[in-house]
Amino acid sequence: MSFTYAPPSGAVAPLQRIGSFADFQATVDRSFVPLKVSSQRAHHFSAAVRAATLRGFSLVEIAAVPHVVERTRKLLGETTTEPAYKASLMLEGTGYICQDGHDVVLKPGDVAVYDTTRPYTLVFDDHMRTIVAMFPKRLVDLADDRVARLTATALGRDDTLGEMVGSVLAQLAGRLQLVTASTGWRLARNAVDLVTILLRDQLGEERTGLPAERLENVLAYIEAHLGDPDLSPTTIADAHYISVRSLHLLFKHTEVSVSSYIRTRRLERCRTDLADPALAGETVAGIATRWSFADAAHFSRTFKATYGETPSEFRARLR
């Protein structure tokens, strides 16, 4: 992919020099999730970082000398933040990444996605510069097993869509803190949506037969009708001219039932709306009703059972 990084015009937050390797380790941990960082030049380490965080969305630009980053199994157990994906854009140098049995050498302009809930390794053998966005999995309407097909691969290489994702990440870097919380959140959501579109596009190339394509159509239908209180296995099956039994068979490999998938996606939509500063004036009950939770008390109990806090507690924590 041909990609030239051009810093956005106007005021841009500068990269801040990191004083030591220990400071770099602390900055990485604070910006993302617990990670093991190592370098053969730890005593002569140099790096610069700029970062912005907004309601669970983190955007970090890093320039550094050679180093290795590992997300180990031990560190997985030390994470208290919600499950997240990372999308990275190489700007300078190269980076080797491996996860889920995949590995790839990323070149400038390459975009890759990886999962913070499973081990991964990043190796940078030369001076590098990269932009990394980390965002909650709930913002991506794709099942984990589908995203896992594409982790640690160069997404959209020699493709216009991949270049668009890279351009958006580059333009966002250093800018989130320069806009209002509401606008910044919208920009962040747009970036995540574009990454999701890229993932869907890449998954489309992997279709191996009618069942996979039919399941994708069913999932898209569910997503478009989550606010319909009449959405059910029966209405979904009828809309796709298949039996309810056939519908359940389609979901067999997803390891979740149709009803559970619908409930989970509705909860995730509620959680996303509760985190949206543009919807701060809406009541919890109003948001729940929008996504077909008619009983506010039942919604609150279900939300807490799933996420460990009530909708109101979740909303208050993000203010």
Task: Give 114-159 as a DSSP string.
Answer: EETTS-EEEEE-S-EEEEEEEEEGGGS-S-HHHHTTTTTS-BTTT-
Residue 252 lies in a domain: yes
164 shares its domain with 279? no
Residue 36 lies in a domain: yes
CA 312, CA 225: separation in Å to the nearest integer?
25
Residue with the two structure tokens 């009541």: 283
Residue 9 lies in a domain: no
164 shares its domain with 63? yes
53 shares its domain with 170? yes
Listed range (31-40, 123-132, 195-204) with the worst mean pLDDT: 195-204
Contacts of 32 (CB under 8 A, 6+ apart): 58, 60, 86, 116, 132, 134
Higher per-residue pLDDT: 210 or 58: 58
141 shares its domain with 180? yes
| pLDDT reading at 20 higher than 60 | yes
What is the reported pTM? 0.70
**Average predicted confidence (pLDDT) for the chain:** 86
Vertex 83 angle, CA 82 and 85, to 5°: 130
Distance of CA 186 to the CA centre of its chain: 15
219 shares its domain with 311? yes
167 shares its domain with 301? no
| pLDDT reading at 85 higher than 90 | yes
Look at residues 204, 231, 253 and tell me which one is the last residue of a structural domain.
204
Task: Give 151-220 as a DSSP string.
Answer: TTS-BTTT-HHHHHHHHHHHHHTTTGGGS-HHHHHHHHHHHHHHHHHHHHHHHHTT--SHHHHHHHHHHH
Closest of 98, 53, 94, 52 to residue 72, by C-alpha: 98
| CATH code assigned at 115 | 2.60.120.10
pLDDT bin (cut points 50, 70, 90) of residue 211 is low
pLDDT at position 13 is: 61
125 shares its domain with 29? yes
| pLDDT reading at 35 higher than 80 | yes
Residue pLDDT, tens place only, 137-175: 988 888 888 899 999 999 977 778 888 898 889 888 877
90 shares its domain with 214? no
| CATH code assigned at 300 | 1.10.10.60
| pLDDT reading at 64 higher than 60 | yes
Q: How many domains does the chain have?
A: 2
pLDDT at position 195 is: 93
CA 155, CA 150: separation in Å to the nearest integer?
8
Per the structure, the complete domain to which residue 230 belongs is given by 210-318
Pair 141, 223: CB distance under 8 Å: yes
Look at residues 163, 187, 204 and tell me which one is the last residue of a structural domain.
204
Look at residues 204, 232, 264 and tell me which one is the last residue of a structural domain.
204
- Determine the 3-state secondary structure of 52 from DSSP: strand
126 shares its domain with 245? no
CA atoms within 13 A on the CB side of 133: 34
What are the percentages of helix, strand and coil residues in the chain, rounded to 5? 45, 20, 35
175 shares its domain with 245? no
Residue 223 lies in a domain: yes
171 shares its domain with 306? no
